[in-house]
Chain A
Amino acid sequence: MRIETDPSGMTGHRRRHMTTTTQTRADLSLMPIAFATLAGLMLLFASGYAQASVLHGAAHDQRHAMAFPCH
Chain B
Amino acid sequence: MSAKLLTSAVFAGVVAGLIAALLQFYFVIPTLLEGEFFESGERIHFVTDGSPQSERGSPGLGGDFGRHAMTVGFNIVTYIGFGFLLLAAMAMTEMKGFTTITARSGIIWGLGGFIAIQLAPAMGLPPVLPGTIGAEVEARQAWWLGTLIASGLGVWMIAFLRGPIALVGVVLLAAPQFIGAPQLDTYWGVAPPELSAQFVSYSLGTAAVGWTCLGFFAAWFWTRDNA
A interface residues with partner B (beta carbon < 8 Å): 2-3, 5, 9, 11, 14, 18, 20-21, 24-25, 27-29, 31-37, 39-44, 46-49, 51, 58-59, 61-71
Using a Cβ–Cβ cut-off of 8 Å, how many residues does chain B contribute to the interface with A? 62
Q: A33 to nearest B CB, angstroms?
A: 5
Interface flag for B212 (CB, 8 Å): no
Residues of A within 8 A of B6 (CB): 32, 35-36, 39
Return B84 CB to nearest CB of chain A, in Å: 3
Assembly CA distance A9 to B140 (angstroms): 42
Produce 1/0 per residue, B186-227, CB < 8 A to A: 000000000000000001101100000000000000111110
B85 near A48 with CB under 8 A, answer no
In whole angstroms, what is the CA distance A37 to B9 when docked? 11
Closest residue of chain A to B92 (Cβ to Cβ) is A33
The yes or no answer to B100 lying at the interface (CB within 8 A) is yes
Say whether, besides A47-B74, A67-B203, A18 and B225 are in contact (CB < 8 Å): yes
How far, in Å, is A47 (CB) from chain B's closest CB?
Answer: 4
Whether B85 and A69, one on each chain, are in contact in the complex, defined by CB atoms closer than 8 angstroms, is no
New A-B pairs, 13, CB < 8 Å, besides A46-B77, A67-B122: A2-B98, A14-B100, A25-B4, A25-B91, A25-B222, A28-B2, A32-B5, A36-B9, A37-B85, A40-B82, A43-B77, A58-B73, A62-B74
